[in-house]
Amino acid sequence: MNELSGKVVVVTGSTQGVGEAVALACARAGARGVVVCGRNESRGRAVEQQLIELGAEALYVPCDLGEEADCRRVIAECDAKFGAVDGLVNAAADTNRGTVESTTVELWERQFRINVRAPFLLVQEAVRVMRREGNGGSIVNVLSVAAYCGMDNLVSYSATKGALATLTKNLANGLRRDRIRVNGIKLGWTNTPNEHVVQKLQGSGDDWLERAERESPFGRLIRPDDVAELCLFLLSERSGIVTGSNIDYAQRVMGAIPPGN
């Protein structure tokens, strides 16, 4: 299927996990250009090569999304190479944990820089290109169900995702006259390489994934390819005029009262 034929898409956090799956899915869907970015250059170059092998032009931009200049440079380099930005997927995030007592000012500020300010800056620059070209566009922000509340060790992370969820709706409202759609995906528990790292840091056993999937209603956790398919839908014309939606993608219904409560 060539749902993104001729399109140019920028995907942050695309050196691994959800972002990598989205970037590869874009190439398979016929995107003419895919921009990969992140701090891990060896992984970035590897994903870039995979995209080329799938038939897309690819560009890896090394960057730290905690830095304003790097955020702006990602879009500038995309524009310089491809002359367009048709889609943007903000998949990068700092997911470090912290309770109300253990969360430092440094963690709080870094998570807001990466999880909220970086998407804003990337959208700001991408919108300038989209408006110039006059072809509309689609932006997808990868959120989390933690935006509703979050666990007690996700204090600042939950706050960033709540902020990004509101920003998603605000941007969608402000950009609809330009035919630029903005939507979010609120992810539940997802099986990613970073989640394995986090689980080990929390002291979970080697069988954490097996146990988690056994206890899940659908018998498994969300996978990066699952998220990539939903991103493709939102990036493509299949989603029509959908904008301003923050879609819950989880195995529990948010707002439902747990049994026994």
Predicted confidence (pLDDT) per residue in 199-216, tens digit: 666 777 777 777 778 788
Average pLDDT over residues 98-120: 98
Question: Which DSSP symbol is given to 179?
Answer: T
Predicted confidence (pLDDT) per residue in 56-65, tens digit: 999 999 999 9
Q: What single string gives the DSSP state of each residue in 219-252?
A: SS-B-HHHHHHHHHHHHSGGGTT--S-EEEESSS
Average pLDDT over residues 160-169: 98
CATH topology of domain 8-249: Rossmann fold (3.40.50)
Is 110 exposed, middle or buried (CB count within 10 Å of its CB: 0-12, 13-18, 19+)?
middle
* Phi, psi of 179, deg, nearest 5: 60, 30
From CA 178, how far away is CA 45, in angstroms rounded?
34
From CA 60, how far away is CA 55, in angstroms rounded?
15
pLDDT band at 255 (very low <50, low <70, confident <90, very high): confident
Task: Catalytic residue, from 60, 148, 157, 249: name it.
Answer: 157
Listed residue (220, 217, 221) closest to 253, CA to CA? 217
* pLDDT of amino acid 199: 65
The domain ranges of the chain are 8-249
State if pTM tops 0.85.
Answer: yes
Active site residue 148: no
Listed residue (100, 101, 120) closest to 112, CA to CA? 120
